[in-house]
């Protein structure tokens, strides 16, 4: 009885709070594909502009970038009002997804009221995370760097207000004004910006322009084209440019590898389709989680080193981590040294064992997280079987029951989870070690997002040219 009362109280509280939260209204008429492109362009342009606006009142940048591991994931820019990027939205979304997948939140997503409740709850949690992260990050990281302590509240307000704007831009896209989600657009724009910078940047580096194209032109003028193939200092080179193109092609190819299980509709006679189980079934979430784990380990190791081993003279803590007192960004010894990623062939050549250890560790962690994510994220054979039955479809030749469908899916999903986890882990870790443009996880995210947008565009085309078929597909989903 108490459980039912508590659930009713929570539902009522969420509905009451959501009335006072700013929301983007759904379009009252059908938005054309051209208009959706325009709104997507406006959202991305606004996001990129915010990424160039410095934080007001800050006199210096932090010596250590606490979000360095997640700049690509969060599409964030250090020292700007976009310091947190989409971090709070991603964090809240992952938290709600875990609560839903583990059945802690018992909601029936076939019920429109439950879907709306989940959306409202996610938005409330997102705002809470925005306020918490903005307050803590602003006060602890940038607080000591403001011109005056009186600026700290203004600094925190900038971080919170910008994150709220990002949340509304994401909602604008998701509500039907644009295509897909704002989060995907912002991540893709951030990775593309990094790649374009590596290719075309004219900014001067230690040996010439940073961008590989201006560097090739500059080297051709001086007759030193051989220097363009390899460059030190993690600078873009012809070698990494070719590797980046090769990995992008490999990622696109692997995205298309899948096992098709035939399904038929029990509601619409004669309607058949396939249920695809992709090789990269676990998606990119395990890579994100493993990256966060390693980054937190680095952060904790640095804190322990700063407090208990600042001179690298404690034998016990030397086993954990050693840092250069003048350069605290990367460990120079200990366990964390071998877990950190050596980016660039010049660094790999100095200690190949470190590179191999890092690749093996990252691949193993991604595989473990992939297995956990499939179970907790609602992607297991059991959850997939339930979703198929709830969608009024069945597998031909098998009884329409939970156990029957689950037994068929159990032949593929566990194996694909392990194989896909190993493949994603290897692609991400090797790409990071080789110093590819945009980073391994950045390339993974961008390709996944582009493939999803390709599928969205096909659906939009079908909706425009064959509305009856689109309506049938919509009912099936």
Whose CA is closest to 409, among 424, 422, 425, 393?
393
Lookup: tokens for 477: 């989903």
Q: Is the domain of 428 the same as that of 283?
A: yes
The whole model's pTM is what?
0.77
Does the residue 15 lie in any domain?
A: no
Q: Is the domain of 249 the same as that of 217?
A: no
DSSP sequence for 316-354: HHHHH-EEETTEEEEEEESHHHHHS---SHHHHHH-HHH
Q: Count other C-beta atoms under 10 Å from residue 275's C-beta.
A: 19
Question: According to the model, what pLDDT value does residue 468 have?
Answer: 45
What's the domain range around 223? 201-236
pLDDT digits (tens, 9 = 90+) for 405-463: 888 888 888 888 899 889 888 888 888 888 888 888 888 888 888 888 887 887 776 66
Q: Is the domain of 253 the same as that of 402?
A: yes
Q: Is the domain of 326 the same as that of 363?
A: yes
Question: According to the model, what pLDDT value does residue 128 have?
Answer: 92
Q: Please give the average per-residue pLDDT across 148-175, as a whole number.
A: 90
| Beta-strand pair 322-324/272-278 | unpaired
Q: What distance, in Å, lies between the first and last C-alpha atoms of the chain?
A: 35
Residue indicated by tokens 């008429």: 29
pLDDT digits (tens, 9 = 90+) for 357-375: 989 998 998 898 888 888 8
**Sheet bearing 258-265, strands edge to edge:** 272-278, 258-265, 393-394
Of 214, 236, 258, which residue is a domain's last? 236
- Cα–Cα distance for residue pair 179/127, rounded to 1 Å: 23
Q: Please give the average per-residue pLDDT across 275-281, as a whole number.
A: 83
Q: Is the domain of 225 the same as that of 172?
A: no
Q: Bridge-partner residues for 262, per DSSP?
A: 274
Q: Please give the average per-residue pLDDT across 208-237, as a whole number.
A: 83
pLDDT digits (tens, 9 = 90+) for 243-273: 999 988 988 888 888 888 888 877 777 677 7
Does the residue 27 lie in any domain?
A: no
Does the residue 230 lie in any domain?
A: yes
Does the residue 18 lie in any domain?
A: no
pLDDT digits (tens, 9 = 90+) for 104-128: 667 666 677 777 788 888 888 899 9
Does the residue 43 lie in any domain?
A: yes
Which CATH number belongs to the domain containing residue 92 in this structure?
A: 1.10.3370.10
Q: Is the domain of 97 the same as that of 65?
A: yes
- The CA-atom distances, in angstroms, between 79 and each of 35, 40, 51, 420 are 33, 25, 9, 36
Residue indicated by tokens 């502009």: 49
Task: Look at 36-50, 195-209, 321-335 and tell me which has the smallest mean pLDDT.
Answer: 321-335
Mark 84-123 as b/e (b = at least 16 C-beta within 10 Å).
bbbbbbbbbbbebbbbbbeeebebeeeeeeeeebbbbbbb
DSSP sequence for 397-430: TS-SSHHHHHHHHHTTHHHHHHHHHHHHHHHHHH
Question: According to the model, what pLDDT value does residue 102 have?
Answer: 63
If one counts the domains in the chain, the total is 3
Question: According to the model, what pLDDT value does residue 431 have?
Answer: 87
Does the residue 67 lie in any domain?
A: yes
Q: Is the domain of 100 the same as that of 186?
A: yes
Whose CA is closest to 163, among 124, 126, 118, 121?
126
Does the residue 324 lie in any domain?
A: yes
Of 192, 209, 224, which residue is a domain's last? 192
pLDDT at 132 over 80: yes
Q: Is the domain of 160 the same as that of 255?
A: no
Q: Is the domain of 355 the same as that of 386?
A: yes
Whose CA is closest to 84, among 67, 65, 99, 97?
67
């Amino acid at each position: 009885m108490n459980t039912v009362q508590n659930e009713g109280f929570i539902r009522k509280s969420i509905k009451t709070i959501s009335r006072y939260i700013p929301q983007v209204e759904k379009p009252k008429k059908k938005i054309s594909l051209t208009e959706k492109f325009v709104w997507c362009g406006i959202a991305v342009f606004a996001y990129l502009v915010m990424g160039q606006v410095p934080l007001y009142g800050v006199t210096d940048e932090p010596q250590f970038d606490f979000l360095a591991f997640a700049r690509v994931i969060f599409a964030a820019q250090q020292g700007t009002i976009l310091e947190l990027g989409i971090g709070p939205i991603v964090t809240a979304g992952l938290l709600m997804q875990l609560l839903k997948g583990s059945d802690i939140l018992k909601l029936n997503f076939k019920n429109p009221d439950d879907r709306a409740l989940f959306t409202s709850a996610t938005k409330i949690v997102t705002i809470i995370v925005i306020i918490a992260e903005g307050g803590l990050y602003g006060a602890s990281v940038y607080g000591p760097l403001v011109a005056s302590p009186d600026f700290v509240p203004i600094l925190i307000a900038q971080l919170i207000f910008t994150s709220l704007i990002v949340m509304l831009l994401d909602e604008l896209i998701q509500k039907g004004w644009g295509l897909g989600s704002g989060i995907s657009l912002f991540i893709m724009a951030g990775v593309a910006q990094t790649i374009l910078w590596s290719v075309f940047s004219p900014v001067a580096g230690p040996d010439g322009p940073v961008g590989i194209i201006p560097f090739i032109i500059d080297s051709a003028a001086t007759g030193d084209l051989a220097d363009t193939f390899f460059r030190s200092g993690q600078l873009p080179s012809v070698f990494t440019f070719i590797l980046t193109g090769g990995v992008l092609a490999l990622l696109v190819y692997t995205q298309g590898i899948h096992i098709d299980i035939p399904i038929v509709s029990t509601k619409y006679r004669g309607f058949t389709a396939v249920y695809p189980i992709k090789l990269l079934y676990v998606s990119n979430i395990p890579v994100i989680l493993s990256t966060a784990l390693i980054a937190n380990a680095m952060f904790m190791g640095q804190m322990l080193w700063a407090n208990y081993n600042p001179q690298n003279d404690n034998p016990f803590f030397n086993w954990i981590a050693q840092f250069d007192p003048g350069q605290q960004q990367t460990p120079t010894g200990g366990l964390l040294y071998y877990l950190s990623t050596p980016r660039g062939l010049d660094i790999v050549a100095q200690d190949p064992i470190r590179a191999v250890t890092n690749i093996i560790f990252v691949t193993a962690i991604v595989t473990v997280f992939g297995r956990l994510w499939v179970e907790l994220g609602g992607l297991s054979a059991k959850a997939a079987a339930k979703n198929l039955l709830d969608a009024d479809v069945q597998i031909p030749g098998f009884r329409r029951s939970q156990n029957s469908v689950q037994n068929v899916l159990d032949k593929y999903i566990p194996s694909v989870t392990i194989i896909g986890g190993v493949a994603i882990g290897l692609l991400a870790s090797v790409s990071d070690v080789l110093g590819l443009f945009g980073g391994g996880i950045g390339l993974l995210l961008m390709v996944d997002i582009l493939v999803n947008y390709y599928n969205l565009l096909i659906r939009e085309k079908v909706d425009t040219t064959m509305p009856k078929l689109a309506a049938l597909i919509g009912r099936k989903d």
